[in-house]
Structure 1
Amino acid sequence: MARIVVVGEALVDLVAESDGRRFRADPGGGPANIAVGLGRLGNPVTLVTTLGDDAFGRLVTGHLTAAGVAPTVHPALFTPLAVVTVDGAGVPSYDFAISWDVPALDVPPDTAVLHTGSLAAAMAAGPVEAAMAAAPVVSYDPNIRPPLLGDRASERTRVERQIGLSDVVKASDEDLGWLYPDDDPVEVAHRWHGLGPALVVVTRGARGCVAVTASGQIERPAPKVEVVDTVGAGDAFMSGLLSGLLAGGLLDRNGLARADETTLSAPLADALASAAITCTRPGADPPTKEELRTAT
């Protein structure tokens, strides 16, 4: 089976308890969550990341390997942290202590699919884009975190450049709302499709998702669930989508050229179900293959 290589940050989420004084330490980071989701769904996956030689780094490494992820670690002074506060609707906000500065990335030469995005793609754009340009197939999720980014115009330029290196792109309506505050997110997805990707998907929370391909626009509703929080839901969507595309023989250039409403039906269902399951439990806790099979 083709190996998916995920490039990006792994960190520890310090999730505030109700009193605001105690915190739960959960392994996290968008790319790491996606790698874990892919591993739990039975896919061969490597995560190329940075971690410190510390207690949090060991916590993250154990979490990755338990999910079947093979980590390739670039040493860092400390393991990155995100302080997570969840509001009454289960929606998280983040404060970060992170550094992601690598001169080059140690990406396996037999990489079949490379997924990247999030903070690593913003903070180490040069090495990340070099890896994207060298990969046979690229998946990308910008996963916008405004407190750590530059001005909106320069970030739009960076994101659009990285989209031009990608074959599959997923973004939330919140991402697009920050990048293009005056534009409809679905219209932006159509513009992004024109930059080169075969598939662009916009997630819309409880309203499901919209996919844009050469054959047109596809809308799918989200499963109705009791939401505990939405931490990691977008990452679970991405891992479910990639796993579904791979299972359907679509995660290569020829397969993606055939992406339409029929071929994308199962991958989109897997993606939406993965996100929904994650919303029913606290933290970034994507489903296993058996849990997803039961839900779909």
Structure 2
Amino acid sequence: MTGIVVVGEALVDLVAESGGRRFRADPGGGPANIAVGLGRLGSPVTLVTTLGGDAFGRLVTGHLTAAGVAPSVHPAPFTPLAVVTVDGAGVPSYDFAISWDVPALELPPDTAVLHAGSLAAAMAAAPVEAAMAAAPVVSYDPNIRPRLLGDRACERLRVERQVGLSDVVKASDEDLAWLYPAEDPVQVAHRWRGLGPALVVVTRGARGCVAVTASGRFERPAPPVEVADTVGAGDAFMSGLLSGLLSAGLLEPGALTRADETTLSGPLADALASAAITCTRPGADPPTKEELKAFL
């Protein structure tokens, strides 16, 4: 089997420019950003998503195909939007106009790895979880957006259910702080690993990441860069991680159970570098394979 299939939202980020009265339209959405990142790194990737037949939908489709992503589009009444404002530290906040209503998801027959998460996994949990259960290897990023979620306890149960269907899980310390207030994110990662995944990675912004496997936990620092903004950094980390795991032969069924600090060194370096490069330029703009190689 070959191919990574990403399931989830593609949308347009309306990014507020100076003064807040003008907005720049950038293709975005966590799963779409991850698919674009994988495509730019040379991985064969399909994005299963919803888009409207409008100008924004055409903008997103062109962006995906230019990166080497094969879009598999369920028609929607409109292309989802996210209004993005960035604070003085480059940290974004989001307001959404989105629907994601797909009654069933049929995976391509050559699917080797499924990546799921973000808003689609919250708004259409049943079909997304059915696809996760059917895939040979599953990657998951909850990518919590509190404004669009329901009761914290209910969302926590949903996320834990989806973690249990996964082999690789990435979550930010901010995700875990919302799901489990006052708990140590790394301890949560250890607990999540006990639910099923072989690898759980906690990203910590400028402090790098912590990986938890059966062989223990280990930390990696983030490369120092001059930050333009952090939009899409977590998505770039995820695409770099998946690309690195794929290149290392660790996304074959069962391979991740043998992963340790040595075998994960390369994929984590790719992930951290991908995120760092993205932080140096505005918007969700993950690196190409050549840019990543030059950075490393």
Q: TM-score range by the shorter chain?
A: over 0.9
Q: CA deviation at 1:255?
A: 1.7
In the TM superposition, what are the counterparts of 1:24-173 in structure 2 within 5 Å? 24-173=24-173
Q: CA deviation at 1:87?
A: 0.2
Query: Partners of 2:154 and 2:265 in 1: how far apart?
Result: 35
One-letter amino acid of the counterpart of residue 152, structure 2: R
% identical aligned pairs:
88
One-letter amino acid of the counterpart of residue 106, structure 1: E
1:187 aligns with 2:179: no
One-letter amino acid of the counterpart of residue 220, structure 1: R
SS in 1 for 2:294: helix
Q: CA deviation at 1:105?
A: 1.3
SS in 1 for 2:261: coil
- Bigger shift: residues 84-93 or 100-109: 100-109
SS in 1 for 2:263: coil
Query: Partners of 2:272 and 2:47 in 1: how far apart?
Result: 23
Query: Partners of 1:24 and 1:88 in 2: how far apart?
Result: 18
One-letter amino acid of the counterpart of residue 155, structure 1: E
Query: Partners of 2:273 and 2:248 in 1: how far apart?
Result: 17
SS in 1 for 2:139: strand
SS in 1 for 2:195: coil
1:233/1:276 contact within 8 Å kept? yes
1:3/1:44 contact within 8 Å kept? yes
1:56-108 CA-to-partner distances (Å, cap 9, x unmatched) read: 00000000000000000000000000000000000000000000011111321
- Bigger shift: residues 101-110 or 55-64: 101-110
1:266 aligns with 2:266: yes
Query: Partners of 2:96 and 2:126 in 1: how far apart?
Result: 22
Query: Partners of 1:107 and 1:87 in 2: how far apart?
Result: 39
Q: CA deviation at 1:249?
A: 0.5
User: Structure 2: any 5+ residue segments left out of the alignment?
Assistant: none
1:48/1:106 contact within 8 Å kept? no
The alignment's TM-score, normalised by the length of structure 1, stands at 0.99
Query: Partners of 2:286 and 2:103 in 1: how far apart?
Result: 31
Q: CA deviation at 1:51?
A: 0.1
2:2/2:110 contact within 8 Å kept? no
One-letter amino acid of the counterpart of residue 164, structure 2: G
Q: CA deviation at 1:159?
A: 0.1
State the superposition RMSD in angstroms.
0.7
2:9/2:31 contact within 8 Å kept? yes
Q: CA deviation at 1:252?
A: 2.0
One-letter amino acid of the counterpart of residue 78, structure 2: F
1:36/1:69 contact within 8 Å kept? yes
